[in-house]
Amino acid sequence: MQRVGVFVCWCGSNIAGTVDVQAVSDALKNEPGVVFSTNYQYMCSQAGQDMIKDAVKEHNLTGIVVCSCSPRMHEATFRKTAAAAGLNPYMVEIANIREQCSWVHKDIQTGTEKAIILGKAAVAKVNLNTPLTPGESPVTKRALVIGGGIAGIQTALDIADAGFPVDIVEKKPTIGGKMAQLDKTFPTLDCAACILTPKMVDVAQNENIRIFSYSEVSEIKGFVGNFDVTIKKNARYVKEDICTGCGACVEKCPMKKVPNEFNLGMDNRSAIYIPFAQAVPKVATIDPSACNMLKNGKCGLCSKVCAAGAIDYTQKDEYIQEKYGAIVVATGFNPISMDKFDEFAYNQSKDVITSLEFERLTNAAGPTAGHLERPSDGKSPKTIVFVQCVGSRCDACAEKGKEYCSKICCMYTAKHAMLVRDKYPDTDVYVFYIDVRTPGKNFDEFYRRAVEEYGVKYVKGMVGKVTPEGDKLKVQASDLIENKQLHIDADLVVLAAAIEPDKSARPLATMLTASMDTNDFFTEAHPKLRPVESPTAGVFLSGACQGPKDIPETVSQAGAAASKVIGLLAKDKLTGNPCVAHSNELMCNGCSSCERVCPYGAITYEDKEFRMPDRTTKIRRVAVVNPAVCQGCGACTVACPSGAMDLNGFASNQIMAEVDAICK
């Protein structure tokens, strides 16, 4: 039998205002196992904690019940108090008589009754508590960053700066991501390349960072501190360590008609290519779907002109195994397809483009060398219509748009409109908006400058139809303030397409057993207080994979994710949570129900030898829980049909004892 001490907290008037604390401590005195019961104004204060410690010694307590606030608030505090008094910290139970009682009741009598019941349940449970000891596991001091855009780059640099090795896996031939495609950045209008490319060079030169470009993560096993990852390095048919990036092959390649993805198909590249001049690594890659040599063995020109001898047509995909202590997801975003929005005629006219295409069109390194020319005929547009919220805030049809606000479009559209008016003042620029959303430092000032100084015509309303006719785009739109329908003959229409998580995110989340929301954005451990951690231990989130973000926010989050990784890698050993599941192998029938419901992949099966009553042996398949991976959610314990699964600290008999105490 336990010797239980009960400590009822007043929490000032927070509890004592609605609960008769004296009555609670008196009532609980008579519960089985209780040898001491008292109440105090602030149990969490030093004096309150000392009161607990003294009572442990004086009454030889083996278990403690604190009737106070939510365990989320002070369970850790009282566990430490118990440990200081020489008790196992898991011999403490909290009865939440504040959030679940005093704060929700107005009447002292009902409040007191309920507090007593909650206290009784906690006493019943602590009587069945057993001391628990958390396990320990080592930490591999290396981090993996998946995605090499600005989010991945910043996270990797910050982790590397703290002295830990980091690998970046990027599926494209170069790091840089979407930011490398941008022209200028709001609200300061500094050039994206000018601030990004030095960081890319830093990554390349950092001794602690390895870049796996043109590569993907193909398998992830293990758990926090001990991930085993397989990285697939796609064959680029160029020896990375020998290629000097001189570009001779690119020049000589006869196959020059491949749509250039870096410029969003607005110009062409060769079959062997370097995505852009500042690519990191600056290494050529052969596109096997376009290369004649790879397709039918006819050509081989690039190999002939390569002075370094870097071309290797026989290169195969390579699989690399590596261990990591932490994984950062930085898989970023893409604009959604405009196929389902053809009321804007994106598929009918080359002069209806997305905002990202517009970035390339105004970029000095883009297909028009920065001159604003219409894709159809190269003429300079005299009237430009920007349409905001194309596919954002759209819940009419799940195949079409996204219910959320894409957050970045208002600002980049203001930027585009302003830049056009600045460089080409004789251009008429319209922006159709539903709401202009500019929360951010210097954001609204920026938007107002576009209107007031640059004369961009902002129209409250939406475009309903774009009709290409001759060389004009007939735009039909509403002006809700003036209550009229507008008809504008435009030369260029720019659609602010909604953004969505990269398609690689969903399979990656499955590999990581990390959770996602319905939009395929990664879920954070807590939306406010743990924004860069995934609920899966050891997995961290950086950038737009977690939700739409602009560059400053992405960089902040990237740094925050890095600091969490550093905090993890700085530890030599990880202390686990002892409240994990365990399987009674005698009762387990190996049915796999638990494995199927486990969201963390913590359960595996092994064949075990059992001695039978007749002294023969029998091999049976039984469940084994990896305590370092288990998060103690308890899903397996309810799924288990034979009752073999149980949860330390929340055992079925403990829960039943609580229920009995409440129903008594």
Partner 1 sequence: MNNKYLREELIRESGVNPKKCMKCGKCSATCPAYDEMEYHPHQFVSMVESGDIQPLLQSESLYKCLSCFACIERCPRGVEPAKLVEAVRLAAIRKQGENRMTANDVAEFLDEDVPQQLIVSAFRKYSK
Partner 2 sequence: MKVSYFPGCTLKNKAKDLDLYAYKSAEALGVTLEEIENWQCCGGVFTTARDEVATKLSSVRALKEAFSKEQPLVTVCSACHNVIKQTNHAVQNDKEFSDKVNRYMGEDGGYFGEAEVYHYLEMLRDLVGFDALKEKVVNPLKGKKIAAYYGCLLLRPGSVMKMDDPENPSIMEDFIKALGAQPVVYAKRNECCGGYVSVESPDLAKKSSNQVVQNAKMQGAEMIITACPLCKYNLLKNGADIPVVYFTELLAEALGVKEDTDEQ
Closer to partner 2 by Cβ: residue 347 or 380: 347
Evaluate whether 576 touches 136 at the Cβ level (below 8 Å): yes
User: For strand 215-223 and strand 645-647, is the pairing parallel, antiparallel, or unpaired?
Assistant: unpaired
- Separation in Å, CA 397 to CA 70, 332, 344, 401, 598: 41, 24, 17, 7, 32
Binding footprint of partner 1, residue count (CB under 8 A)? 21
Closer to partner 2 by Cβ: residue 338 or 644: 338
Torsion of CA 461, 465, 468, 473, to 10 degrees: -10
Shortest CB 476 distance to partner 1, Å: 6
Shortest CB 479 distance to partner 1, Å: 8
607 strand-pairing partners: 621
H helices within 526-627, ranges in order?
551-569, 593-597
Helix (H) or strand (E) holding 23: helix 21-29
Closer to partner 1 by Cβ: residue 464 or 578: 464
Closer to partner 2 by Cβ: residue 450 or 498: 498
Look at residue 70 and give the partner it binds from partner 1, partner 2, none, a contact being a CB closer than 5 to 8 Å depending on partner kind.
Answer: none
Shortest CB 406 distance to partner 1, Å: 13
69 binds partner 1 (CB under 8 A): no
Look at residue 401 and give the partner it binds from partner 2, partner 1, none, a contact being a CB closer than 5 to 8 Å depending on partner kind.
Answer: partner 1
379 to 398, contacts with partner 1 by CB under 8 A? Answer: 389, 393-397
Closer to partner 2 by Cβ: residue 60 or 348: 348
Shortest CB 336 distance to partner 2, Å: 14
| Both structure tokens of 550 | 């602009």
Evaluate whether 274 touches 303 at the Cβ level (below 8 Å): no
Span interacting with partner 1, options 329-337, 459-467, 571-579, 618-626, rule CB under 8 A: 459-467
Shortest CB 349 distance to partner 2, Å: 8
366 strand-pairing partners: none
Closer to partner 1 by Cβ: residue 15 or 394: 394
478 binds partner 1 (CB under 8 A): yes
Shortest CB 433 distance to partner 1, Å: 9
Q: For binding to partner 2 (CB under 8 A), which residues are involved?
A: 339-343, 345, 347-348, 397, 465-470
Look at residue 467 and give the partner it binds from partner 2, partner 1, none, a contact being a CB closer than 5 to 8 Å depending on partner kind.
Answer: partner 2
Evaluate whether 350 touches 377 at the Cβ level (below 8 Å): no
Span interacting with partner 1, options 3-11, 90-98, 463-471, 541-549, rule CB under 8 A: 463-471
Local structure of 473: helix, strand or coil: strand
Q: How many Å apart are CA 501 and CA 335, to the nearest integer?
A: 9
- Work out the angle at residue 561's Cα, subtended by the Cα atoms of residues 409 and 178, and round it to the nearest 5 degrees: 35
DSSP state at residue 574:
E
Look at residue 468 and give the partner it binds from partner 2, partner 1, none, a contact being a CB closer than 5 to 8 Å depending on partner kind.
Answer: partner 2
Local structure of 230: helix, strand or coil: strand
Residue type, 317: D
Closer to partner 1 by Cβ: residue 229 or 475: 475
Cα 183 from chain centroid? 26
For residue 336, give every residue at least 6 positions away whose Cβ sits within 8 Å of its Cβ, in sequence order, or none: 391, 401, 402, 497, 498, 499, 500
Look at residue 461 and give the partner it binds from partner 2, partner 1, none, a contact being a CB closer than 5 to 8 Å depending on partner kind.
Answer: partner 1
| Both structure tokens of 69 | 């606030």
Q: How many Å apart are CA 150 and CA 505, to the nearest integer?
A: 17
Evaluate whether 526 touches 363 at the Cβ level (below 8 Å): no
Nearest to 478 by CA among 460, 497, 505, 499: 460
434 binds partner 1 (CB under 8 A): yes
Shortest CB 473 distance to partner 1, Å: 15
Binder to partner 1 among 401, 538, 601, 632 (CB under 8 A)? Answer: 401
Tokens 């290169």 appear where? 315
Look at residue 340 and give the partner it binds from partner 2, partner 1, none, a contact being a CB closer than 5 to 8 Å depending on partner kind.
Answer: partner 2
Closer to partner 1 by Cβ: residue 280 or 338: 338
Q: How many Å apart are CA 601 and CA 251, to the nearest integer?
A: 50
Binder to partner 1 among 465, 503, 571, 596 (CB under 8 A)? Answer: 465
462 binds partner 1 (CB under 8 A): yes
Shortest CB 467 distance to partner 2, Å: 4
Evaluate whether 629 touches 602 at the Cβ level (below 8 Å): yes
Evaluate whether 502 touches 353 at the Cβ level (below 8 Å): no
Look at residue 592 and give the partner it binds from partner 2, partner 1, none, a contact being a CB closer than 5 to 8 Å depending on partner kind.
Answer: none
477 binds partner 1 (CB under 8 A): yes
463 binds partner 1 (CB under 8 A): yes
Radius of gyration of the chain (CA): 31
Span interacting with partner 1, options 237-245, 262-270, 446-454, 475-483, rule CB under 8 A: 475-483
For residue 22, give every residue at least 6 positions away whose Cβ sits within 8 Å of its Cβ, in sequence order, or none: 39
For residue 533, give every residue at least 6 positions away whose Cβ sits within 8 Å of its Cβ, in sequence order, or none: 524, 525, 526, 539, 540, 541, 564
Closer to partner 2 by Cβ: residue 222 or 401: 401
Q: How many Å apart are CA 266 and CA 178, to the nearest integer?
A: 16
Burial of residue 566, with CB atoms counted within 10 A of its CB: 0-12 exposed, 13-18 middle, 19 or more buried: middle
Binder to partner 1 among 464, 552, 578, 649 (CB under 8 A)? Answer: 464
Look at residue 663 and give the partner it binds from partner 2, partner 1, none, a contact being a CB closer than 5 to 8 Å depending on partner kind.
Answer: none
Shortest CB 115 distance to partner 1, Å: 42
Local structure of 43: helix, strand or coil: coil
Closer to partner 2 by Cβ: residue 337 or 604: 337
Look at residue 469 and give the partner it binds from partner 1, partner 2, none, a contact being a CB closer than 5 to 8 Å depending on partner kind.
Answer: partner 2
Closer to partner 1 by Cβ: residue 263 or 388: 388
Nearest to 344 by CA among 446, 474, 229: 474
Binder to partner 1 among 58, 261, 318, 343 (CB under 8 A)? Answer: 343
Look at residue 480 and give the partner it binds from partner 1, partner 2, none, a contact being a CB closer than 5 to 8 Å depending on partner kind.
Answer: partner 1
Shortest CB 502 distance to partner 2, Å: 25
Look at residue 393 and give the partner it binds from partner 1, partner 2, none, a contact being a CB closer than 5 to 8 Å depending on partner kind.
Answer: partner 1
Closer to partner 2 by Cβ: residue 343 or 422: 343
Shortest CB 347 distance to partner 2, Å: 6
Q: How many Å apart are CA 261 and CA 181, to the nearest integer?
A: 10
Evaluate whether 166 touches 158 at the Cβ level (below 8 Å): no
Shortest CB 400 distance to partner 2, Å: 9
Q: How many Å apart are CA 621 and CA 638, to the nearest integer?
A: 20
Interacting residues toward partner 1 by CB under 8 A: 343, 389, 393-397, 401, 434, 460-465, 476-478, 480, 483, 485
